[in-house]
Amino acid sequence: MSKCEQCIVREFSSLKTLNKEELLRIADCKSSYIIKKGEPIFTEGENVNGIFCIKDGVCKLTKLSPNGNDHILKLITKGELLGQRSMISDEPVNLSAVALEDMEVCFIPKTEIMGLFNQNNKFSMDVMKAICGDLKDADDHVVAMAQKSVKQRLAETLIYLNDAFGINDDKSLKIKLSREELAGMVGTATESCIRLLSEFNKLGVIELSGKKITITDMGRLDKLTN
């Protein structure tokens, strides 16, 4: 089992505020898991009773809509924490987290985290700032859904995937999403997403090859966001 005080991903989250003694306490009580691609870390409505630290891999946070479709609200990558809000509010999780690729995650029980929350002011403030950041992102998402066209949202999503996760050696986006998943991020029907991707391809701003998407003209793609 890896030691939390030697784990580099802790530097990317609120765990960076903990001292060596606190990290050793976490290391003694945490559990590590391998989550295979397509498997859930947790499911909407579940009581998780702790937080998950993403050590490696990427997952999607989804919300089930009334028509039965999964709407992707955010992608989470290594170094980030999951479950803080439901842990503090003492409620079931409001979203599902599903692995987009094979992942390694660590689970830290609520009893240990809440003890640190009460003892370490900087840690508790960092956790609250992270939750506030999530709420701001949610506000921005609601505004985008209400005021921007599907074409604008698709262009923004492609730029986000490029900026946040980078590209492969062949210049294609590193994160490979199915057309259904991409539509779930944009907030549209799969058919509309496929049609717009084809339109972007004809405009020469992207190239399509199976699941692979390559941005070929970032400047023109950026103009499509306005």
Q: List pLDDT tens digits, range 188-208.
A: 999 999 999 999 999 999 999
pLDDT tens, position by position, 60-98: 999 987 777 788 888 999 989 999 989 888 999 999 999
Nearest to 222 by CA among 205, 197, 207: 205
Angle at 149 between CA 147 and CA 155, to 5 degrees: 115
> Can you say whether residue 187 is alpha, beta or left, with left for phi > 0 and alpha for psi between -120 and 50 degrees?
left
- Above 90 in pLDDT, residue 210? no
Q: How many CB atoms lie within 10 A of CB 135?
A: 11
List the domains of the chain with CATH numbers: 4-145 (2.60.120.10), 148-224 (1.10.10.10)
- Quick one: how far is CA 161 from the chain centroid? 11
Ramachandran angles phi, psi of 47, nearest 5°? -95, 110
